[in-house]
Structure 1
Amino acid sequence: MTEQHDPNSQQFSELTDSVNNKSLGGSWKNRVAGVWNKATTNLTQLLPVEQVAQTVIQWFSVSEAQVAEILEKVRAELPTTQALLVGKPQAGKSSIVRGLTGVSAEIVGQGFRPHTQHTQRYAYPSNDLPLLIFTDTVGLGDVNQDTQTIIEELLGDLEQETRSARILILTVKINDFATDSLRQIAQQLRQQYPDIPCLLAVTCLHEVYPPDTVDHLAYPPDFEEVNRAFTLIQETFAGLYDRCVLIDFTLEEDGYNPVFYGLEALRDTLAELLPQAEAQAIHQLLNREEAGNQIGNLYRDTARRYILPFAIMSATLAAVPLPFATMPVLTALQVSMVGLLGKLYGQTLTPSQAGGVVSAIAGGFLAQAIGRELVKFIPLFGSAIAASWAAAYTWALGEAACVYFGDLMGGKKPDPQRIQSVMQEAFKAAQERFKGIKR
């Protein structure tokens, strides 16, 4: 059977490709308006609403391959750092992850996943778009484990080609001097990969503080016990590291302040060893106020590549001059968009769950949507007004969904008031953007 070529499908495909490969600036409004006007002409030929819905569903579909391609392009531009954490259990490796990411101990514990027999991997903020990738050794120091097998697995991991910057972090407790196996691993890793910088992180300083010490001193700590142990560890690993740093990352309930003692020293030392882009990313991540904005902007820039086609299709459907007839189709379209954005943020939703998210974040816009549908009764002007409103609303809904899913990804409870504020601001801005859509 000969496959029929749908010109409207090609128009939307070209628009989507344009969004994926170009910025949204410049003449994008003209391109949007042109596509919208052509598509609307065909849709408003008194097609049954069911046929309109089926046509739109055929026009727009994002395959797994397309999602993977877009994410790969974004990943290629990310200043990602791969940190290989080598140390015994309880040496403070997970604490380093907490210090550099700011996430809770529970989230860190749940985020590590088996990578090989003796390694686990944790990507922050997500596997799809990571800024930091931590690989943690498992079983090191266990007498029942073969150290050579662990070394071979680490070397095999380093053999994999990557665009990411790499750094080796040797973690040693300040009161642990049984480090022969750790030194053996460090020797072979450095021998095989001398260009990968190595940081020696000496941890758990409070365990050698004098008995009457109740809190940290000003950094760096000037205790004789700390200085003596630190010097001995440096001598043990002489020639196997590029920089060394003293840190003591504890839990809040331990009572030491600050909780991440020496975090600034760790940050600055990492910056000395990493390329400029990755070092800057580390600094931004450690600025907790800026970190959320940096990561949020990264995800939203990617999400907008999906939101725009949905906004244009919403405008096209809203132009059908039948009051309320297109509301179910528009809702289904917007639910599909939210489901896709959830997937981008690592949240897999059923259609009913995505619909619940739409209801939760749309708020008072529902009444406005019904009012706008009634405007269609006004001859000549109604459909055009409804179309631009639908495009702006769908855009704002997508922006609000990004905030909602971003909060979930960060382990926070979504703030309805903040989400509503974002949606209101995005709607106003989108109204200006979509003014070019007219009959």
Structure 2
Amino acid sequence: MFSFLNGWAQRWNWAKDGEPKPALDESQIREAALASAPVVWLLGKTGSGKSSVVEALTQADAATVGNGFAPCTQTAQVFDFPTERPVLRFLDTRGLGEAGYDPAQDMAVNKDRAHLVIATMRVSDMNQSELIQSLRAIRESHPEWPIIVLHTCLHELYAGVGADHPVPSIDFSDVDSPVPDAYAGLQRAVRHQQALFSGLKGVAPRFAAIDFTRPEDGYAPVQYGREYLHGAILDEAPTAMFNIARSFFADQEATGSAGVDREVNRLILYYAGAAASVGAIPLVGVVSIPGVSIAMLWHLARVHQVEWSNKDMASLIGMFGGAVAVREGSMLLLRQFTKLGPWLIPIAAAQDYAVAFALGKAACVYMRSRRSRAEVNAEEVKAAFMAGLKEAVRMSAAKGDSK
């Protein structure tokens, strides 16, 4: 791959202001990434906590989530995150439970677009007929689609004055395990809601109980049950979303991950997804994948506030060593021809994702040194690439082992 990047760098079209023009313009890359961005279909009645789930998964604030949804149909909307370079898409069917709502249009528009379905049920609301009907219709067409069911607003059924979240947290997916008296009513409600899914076509849904509140509500922690939500997603999500979710969750748990580090992580995920998308098209990847990678390096340089040129491109790629360059260049050509066999496309796309992900991680090491005006350590750059490659492969392997 790196020999291809070198060739593209030499043919780079530089603008008068010194900024490069990507071989694939940003709108083309965005379209490619949108085509590969995993889609989470949110189903649930108004007030069941769908927006809170999006906030928890993206770590975006309520205002960003509230203003970020754009109409998709008359009664559905889509939230791209991040808006300008999406790596995840959330589809929200809003009308469930509302008078006169007909889900047929939303079902027709969305049923072929989701990679994961998350259904939210306010635990105190026993009338879930519209939701169950919609999920049965989805599973008739896609019995293989994973469904995660979230019981929300748990505190509404806590018994006793001043009752707080149970500590340690209770895994309410085991509805028959004994619980303290303060949560017995909650357990009965969870048991009732889970029984509604009896006979659902396909694999049984994954259940998790959560309560995402505001600090002023007085419950701690404010994102109660988040670990169960994360675990459910990592267990149920398809590989493309699994890789992104792993990175998102690690980013949320890490200290000092705000600001530029978080933006960098999202950029790398975005371009890795774009590389996997365009790389899955037979013979096109030879041309398009280097264009996506070069555009990624340009954007990373802008985020790190360092100048970027052909010289930097050659310097960065040269640090990987001749053996790595030859091997990756050969792998890229081989992948383009093996993609003529449709059964190999998912493997090839995963490799494209891994290489772009690793290149982004290595570039960050290079650019941080450039920004601090320190000498760039070639061994550290190469090590970052190899570590990134192993991380991406390990994530995919972990997902394969979990199935």
In the other structure, the counterpart of 2:266 is 295
Q: CA deviation at 1:200?
A: 1.4
Cα deviation, 1:417-436, whole Å, max 9, x if unaligned, reads xxx977523775499xxxxx
- Matches for 1:220-369 after TM superposition, within 5 Å: 220=170, 222=179, 223-240=183-200, 241-287=204-250, 288=252, 289=254, 292=262, 294-298=265-269, 305-306=294-295
Inter-partner Cα distance in structure 1 for 2:22 and 2:293:
17
In the other structure, the counterpart of 1:154 is 107
Kindly provide the amino acid, as one letter, of the partner of residue 196 in structure 1: W
Superposition CA RMSD, Å: 4.3
Of 158, 175, 189, the match for 2:124: 175
Cα deviation, 1:387-412, whole Å, max 9, x if unaligned, reads x99966xx99xxxxxxxxxxxxxxxx
Q: Percent identity?
A: 26
In the other structure, the counterpart of 2:371 is 424
Inter-partner Cα distance in structure 2 for 1:303 and 1:430:
25
The answer on 1:203 being equivalent to 2:129 is: no
Cα deviation, 1:226-256, whole Å, max 9, x if unaligned, reads 1100001111232335211111111222221
Inter-partner Cα distance in structure 1 for 2:67 and 2:23:
26
> Is the Cα–Cα contact under 8 Å of residues 155 and 189 in structure 1 kept in the other structure?
no
Relative distance call for 1:390 and 1:229 in structure 2 (3 A) is closer
The answer on 1:138 being equivalent to 2:94 is: yes
Secondary structure of 1:220's aligned partner: coil
Of 48, 57, 60, the match for 1:103: 60
Inter-partner Cα distance in structure 1 for 2:376 and 2:90:
39
Inter-partner Cα distance in structure 2 for 1:180 and 1:259:
29
Relative distance call for 1:262 and 1:99 in structure 2 (3 A) is same
Inter-partner Cα distance in structure 2 for 1:274 and 1:112:
22
In the other structure, the counterpart of 2:325 is none
Inter-partner Cα distance in structure 1 for 2:119 and 2:185:
21
Give the TM-score of the pair, scaled to structure 2.
0.59
Q: CA deviation at 1:152?
A: 2.9
In structure 1, list runs of 5 or more residues that go unmatched: 1-21, 40-54, 309-336, 346-357, 366-387, 397-419, 432-439
Give the TM-score of the pair, scaled to structure 1.
0.55
Relative distance call for 1:56 and 1:273 in structure 2 (3 A) is closer
Q: Which has the larger radius of gyration?
A: 1
Secondary structure of 2:119's aligned partner: strand
Inter-partner Cα distance in structure 2 for 1:171 and 1:68:
34
Of 98, 114, 117, the match for 2:71: 114
Kindly provide the amino acid, as one letter, of the partner of residue 220 in structure 2: N
Secondary structure of 1:122's aligned partner: strand
> Is the Cα–Cα contact under 8 Å of residues 204 and 249 in structure 1 kept in the other structure?
yes
> Is the Cα–Cα contact under 8 Å of residues 115 and 238 in structure 2 kept in the other structure?
no
> Is the Cα–Cα contact under 8 Å of residues 151 and 188 in structure 1 kept in the other structure?
no
Of 219, 227, 231, the match for 2:169: 219
Relative distance call for 1:64 and 1:92 in structure 2 (3 A) is farther
Kindly provide the amino acid, as one letter, of the partner of residue 133 in structure 2: Q
Q: CA deviation at 1:137?
A: 1.2
Q: CA deviation at 1:123?
A: 1.5
Kindly provide the amino acid, as one letter, of the partner of residue 203 in structure 1: T
> Is the Cα–Cα contact under 8 Å of residues 75 and 95 in structure 2 kept in the other structure?
yes
Relative distance call for 1:341 and 1:107 in structure 2 (3 A) is farther
Secondary structure of 1:215's aligned partner: coil
Inter-partner Cα distance in structure 2 for 1:118 and 1:169:
17
Kindly provide the amino acid, as one letter, of the partner of residue 139 in structure 1: G
Inter-partner Cα distance in structure 1 for 2:295 and 2:128:
51
Secondary structure of 1:136's aligned partner: strand
Inter-partner Cα distance in structure 1 for 2:117 and 2:70:
19
Kindly provide the amino acid, as one letter, of the partner of residue 112 in structure 2: E
Structure 1 or 2: more helix by fraction: 1
Relative distance call for 1:297 and 1:174 in structure 2 (3 A) is same
Inter-partner Cα distance in structure 1 for 2:121 and 2:38:
21
Kindly provide the amino acid, as one letter, of the partner of residue 122 in structure 2: K
> Is the Cα–Cα contact under 8 Å of residues 199 and 243 in structure 1 kept in the other structure?
yes
Inter-partner Cα distance in structure 2 for 1:159 and 1:253:
40
Kindly provide the amino acid, as one letter, of the partner of residue 45 in structure 2: K
Q: CA deviation at 1:278?
A: 2.4
Secondary structure of 2:111's aligned partner: helix
Kindly provide the amino acid, as one letter, of the partner of residue 146 in structure 1: Y
In the other structure, the counterpart of 2:137 is 188
Cα deviation, 1:275-329, whole Å, max 9, x if unaligned, reads 3442242132122136825324346888872487xxxxxxxxxxxxxxxxxxxxx
Q: CA deviation at 1:72?
A: 4.8
Inter-partner Cα distance in structure 2 for 1:61 and 1:251:
45
Inter-partner Cα distance in structure 1 for 2:374 and 2:270:
19
